[in-house]
Structure 1
């Protein structure tokens, strides 16, 4: 039973590397996990479908955030940002990558649209990337950094939710820690991601890369920014609506409420005509539907791994080899977290599982509360970057592949896995030993 998680996650990874559609890869891997756990095919399918509801809130959030992002784009404020980036950073490859990482970071803590900004902001920049002979893998790493590092380190926006889940998981399983201390535990692992980003920008993808040939008909559909757009009152009201969405999301802790608040404010302020609301929501659904569905299927996969006892068996089997050496214990726990999160594809969804399994082991081994929080948070974040089913990789691909010249696995998942999971593992491991 303990091999179910490992085999099914490896199968998903191999199928994805062979360019099998990610949804098909997850479904096949989930059914394989069910069959290996003793279920028949019908029972496996039923558990997969039933488990898809576990990410229904997230999928609805993404669809509404997509509509919110489309509404923001409708006002032309994103065009101003694109024009600014083109005007100031053309020819400055390193600065452009750092700017993209910075803009992406704002989507987690300041403008809570998460990945929904990417299909709007990135496609107009693709021709610029090709003109500058920029390696799009570097752009994917910069985007994924912005989607992960802020919530790992900063307790605001999505970070407030992430740190809250770590706190709840620890308290519910018998560990004592102050909620305001979680950020200190996650600062060192987060710095590992900063190191990974700098390595990608200044070393791995610094060289010029010749762009692929345009795919007939693909690039023609990418709308280029209007250079005549100037900042006006409509854009000021848009910023107010964005702040309103952020405040609503922080107060309620619900992305759905935040996105809905932003949409309503934009209609009330007449920034978006009411007559256009149907089209804006439809465009938002169209933009985010594939990602939302992948998250739903990944949730079903995670349910099979959890409810059949495969995850528990993996941890129980691992604990037999732990001994009393803290360095070895931390290493194995992080390795288990990597495998689990790669399969489930969501750091937020993985934390409750990991906390229930890690806390008793960490308490018994004498880890401090901060070290335990660092292990749980790092184990949850590990695998999110690099997982074919993660929104942190699906989001960048949705923008970078608008012209059909960017592969999800080889150009997004593999680069982000290498540059973030390795330093996260090392820095998280170090944090667990020194905190």
Structure 2
């Protein structure tokens, strides 16, 4: 069996039986490397070299965690939660009614979508918004698996479809790598090609909201570590400074595309103005890094996993094997290409990193089978996006878990990855396959 397939299966099985995702990635990479023909020494060397590519991501998330904790100390999260509670409460009625749930769901969905384009901060909003809301969601009986699917939709669907913010980067990655592989396209056609696959994600979201997680789910009211500063009442000056810090961080993120420096600038504003005391910086950074460390280490491990899989040459072999099975059947070809993309991206955990790997193989295969440029875009874009919505190593699943598990009651695999896989990956495969055949 192909080394990539075996490595991904091992990683997923270990994750499903609750082995730590970092350990699962390392074990999967080791087994895949050995089966792929690498020696033990080469596997270790390639993995070690590959993890270096995730250092910037890990540092980014650590600093974002520190920035999030700093903002929580100002009292802004408490103010936000108080406002939401006031908005969803109605005199003489229990808070666990339909309207409050709808308001919270719409608010989280809207912020998640905006984090990809209007205010492109990606997952940085999650540790600021979600932990303070957990007690409110507990009282309303909201199933956190629903919130996980909502956030993942907001983190994924907008960049797949819309050429703004992270979507601009994703679409440019598709167009650039398709051109390098021998097929030049106009970036303006990518939203048209991705419309049908995105519709599949919308269907999955509606199923999650109205069918899968409609019933209440009970959670214990536990203390959330991020809420240590909640007792502080925010002053007008602190509110203004905190908003300025957030805007400054957003501007730096938008202009320089650097989460590291955006977090540093935001922290600097809070420290220089005295809104957060300089003497608290060590504890603050420790709390923030502790909160986001899991994401950082998973992303580092995923980079090592991807490096080993690339070095074995097993991805190309996997595509060649699929080509042999396809023959001239476009329907079978489209389905197999999507499945290959699913396998590759589930292991790597990043649609952006997957596109360069699969484009060089999918473009010639699509041309040989007679797929149109639009259909080829749909295949490559959908195949790349599959892993973001369900992979244990994706920041689109790690981010929601980091926020929803702030009180230790949300499992990354069973409460985030499995629900998002079922509600998004299955429709993506189906609707991406339809798009390839009709475009």
TM-score (normalizing by structure 2): 0.89
The equivalent of 2:206 in structure 1 is 198
Give the Å deviation of 1:6: 1.2
How far apart in 2 are the matches of 1:117 and 1:338?
27
Deviates further, 379-388 or 324-333: 324-333
How much has 1:248 moved relative to structure 2?
3.8
Asked if structure 2 preserves the Cα contact closer than 8 Å seen for 1:26 and 1:297, the reply is yes
Alpha-carbon contact 1:151-1:157 (below 8 Å) kept: yes
Displacement, 1:286? Answer: 2.7
Displacement of 1:68: 3.5
Equivalent of 1:104 in 112, 135, 143 = 112
**In 1, are the aligned partners of 2:53 and 2:303 still within 8 Å (CA)?**
yes
1:121 matched residue in structure 2: 129
Alignment of 1:164-313 (within 5 A): 164-211=172-219, 219=223, 221=225, 223=227, 226=230, 232=236, 234-264=238-268, 280-313=284-317
Taking the TM superposition and a 5 Å limit, the aligned residue runs for 1:11-410 are 11-89=10-88, 90-91=95-96, 92-211=100-219, 219=223, 221=225, 223=227, 226=230, 232=236, 234-264=238-268, 280-410=284-414
Do the aligned partners of residues 45 and 194 (structure 1) sit closer, same or farther apart at CA in structure 2, a change above 3 Å counting? same
Q: Distance in 2 between matches of 1:239 and 1:183?
A: 33
- For 2:126 and 2:243, how far apart are their aligned partners in 1? 18
Deviation string for 1:46-89 (max 9, x for gaps)?
22111112223322332333334334434433333322322223
- 1:385 match: secondary structure: coil
Q: More displaced, 199-208 or 257-266?
A: 257-266
Query: Distance in 1 between the 2:232 and 2:23 partners?
Result: 44
SS at match of 1:199: helix
* Rounded Cα–Cα distance in structure 1 between residues aligned with 2:229 and 2:293: 24
Pick which of 301-310 and 190-199 moved more.
Answer: 190-199
- Alpha-carbon separation, structure 2, partners of 1:123 and 1:169: 39
2:92 alignment counterpart: none
Partners of 1:177 and 1:312 lie apart in 2 by 23
Could you tell me how far apart the structure 2 residues matched to 1:107 and 1:128 are?
Answer: 22
Tell me: CA distance 1:131–1:247, structure 2 relative to 1, closer, same or farther (3 Å): closer
Query: How many angstroms does 1:311 deviate by?
Result: 0.8
- Range that drifts further, 107-116 or 297-306: 107-116
Distance (Å, rounded) in 2 between the aligned partners of 1:151 and 1:299: 21
Inter-partner Cα distance in structure 1 for 2:103 and 2:20: 34
State the aligned residue count.
430
Distance 1:264 1:159 in 2: 29
SS in 1 for 2:115: helix
Q: Which stretch of structure 1 is more off in the superposition, 335-344 or 157-166?
A: 157-166
Q: Do 2:11 and 2:24's aligned partners in 1 also have CA atoms closer than 8 Å?
A: yes
SS of the equivalent of 2:327 reads: coil
- Structure 1 residues 111 and 35, CA gap change in structure 2 (3 angstroms): same
Task: Please report how far the alpha carbon of residue 227 of structure 1 lies from its aligned counterpart in structure 2 after TM superposition.
Answer: 8.7
Alpha carbons 2:73, 2:229 under 8 Å: kept: no
Deviation, 1:222, is: 5.8
Deviations 1:182-220 (A, max 9, x none): 233223322222221111011110012233x56xxx636
Deviates more, 1:45-54 or 1:9-18: 45-54
CA distance in 2, matches of 1:264, 1:112: 20
Deviation per residue, 1:93-152 (Å, 9 max, x gap): 243223222222232223433223323322222222222222221111112112212222
Aligned Cα root-mean-square deviation (Å):
2.6
CA contact (8 A) 1:130 1:210 kept: yes
Q: CA deviation at 1:418?
A: 0.3
Task: Provide the C-alpha distance between the structure 2 equivalents of 1:128 and 1:363, rounded to a whole number of angstroms.
Answer: 53
In the alignment, the residues of structure 2 paired with residue 333 and residue 188 of structure 1 have an alpha-carbon distance, to the nearest angstrom, of: 17
Structure 2 distance, partners of 1:409, 1:356, is 31
